[in-house]
Amino acid sequence: MTIASDSAVPAQAASFGTAVPQPVEIRAFGGPVGAEVLGLDLSQPLAAEDFARIHRAHLDHHVLVFRDQRITPEQQIAFSRRFGPLQIHVLHQFQLPGHPEVLVVSNIVENGKPIGLGDAGHFWHSDLSYKEKPSLGSLLHAQELPGEGGDTLFANMHLAWDTLPAHLRNAVEGRVAEHTYLAKYAELQKRSPWRPNLSAEQIAEVKPVVHPIVRTHPETGRKALFVSEHFTTRVIGLPEDESKQLLEEIFAHSVRPEHLYRHVWAECDMVFWDNRSLMHLAAGTPDHLRRKLYRTTIEGDVPF
């Protein structure tokens, strides 16, 4: 385990040390999670000292909101890669043309076909928890926003663990649970046009995996709950009814109001969240209003 400090940043930052520092201000929101980053232009090369501040702030606040980022997909990809390798989403149908690293999150339909994943985030989840190496973090950049709706909610899973009642702590500590991408796929297919039938190759990409219910953050050492209503299907070693009840109690506790931050999107916002620390949920957009965002996802470590 590596505990991060201002001098311990991902190796990807090293080659950018000659860039000119920018007047970066990091302003915490004052709630259970989140901070905004002001004065930073990600279309410009990022100095090593600025990157170190961003990295530290991401660990401290779990959600960073970069305001007014008028950047290209290539620039979003380049910034994301400084934190680690990028992961390609299994729904290749919704990749940004020419940029497989970018998942288009959108409710827009053109020529009778959806251009992106319109129901992304319908259930509380941590991105790619169904992979052997779940996501370190995700970056979502606003391209087109609706006049109402479209908010994103984040739940602090460190706080959820810290405040978990003793009987639930005793029930989950040391246990593991199964995660699978297919857990609610059929249900989502029935309610919207956004979920295509998966090929055999796609299904092979998302085989069920098992992760600790309580994971340790690999950079800070803090514990967090690591289960979600979207992808976690069962607690290994418990009867089905006991597993279901336990997971429902954990889910309900995790999303208590005091654990949440609601992000109201502004033009050209880019939001970068830590999937090792949080769950998130799309609050929904009225069907007649257009919404489009670009998502990149950074590969993390095997949870422990």
Give the separation between CA 203 and CA 110, rounded to whole angstroms. 27
Known active-site residue 125: yes
Give the separation between CA 214 and CA 116, rounded to whole angstroms. 33
The residue annotated as part of the active site, out of 127, 195, 211, 291, is 127
Neighbours of 203 (CB within 10 A): 13
Q: Indicate the helix (H) or strand (E) that contains 53.
A: helix 48-61
The vertex-123 CA angle with 94 and 198, nearest 5°, equals 40
CB burial of 78-99 (b: ≥16 within 10 Å; e: otherwise) equals bbbebbbebbebbbebbbbeeb
Nearest CA to 35 among 56, 58, 64, 55? 64
Known active-site residue 295: yes
Report the chain's terminal Cα–Cα distance, integer Å: 10
The residue annotated as part of the active site, out of 61, 158, 230, 295, is 295
Tokens describing residue 289: 């209003």
The residue annotated as part of the active site, out of 53, 61, 125, 141, is 125
3-state secondary structure of 270: strand
Q: Indicate the helix (H) or strand (E) that contains 51.
A: helix 48-61
Nearest CA to 177 among 208, 217, 212? 212
Known active-site residue 291: no
Tokens describing residue 14: 């090293």
Q: Indicate the helix (H) or strand (E) that contains 233.
A: strand 232-235
Known active-site residue 191: no
* Tally of helices (H runs) and strands (E runs) in the chain: 7, 18
Q: Are 74 and 262 in contact (CB under 8 A)?
A: no
Q: Active-site residue numbers?
A: 125, 127, 280, 295
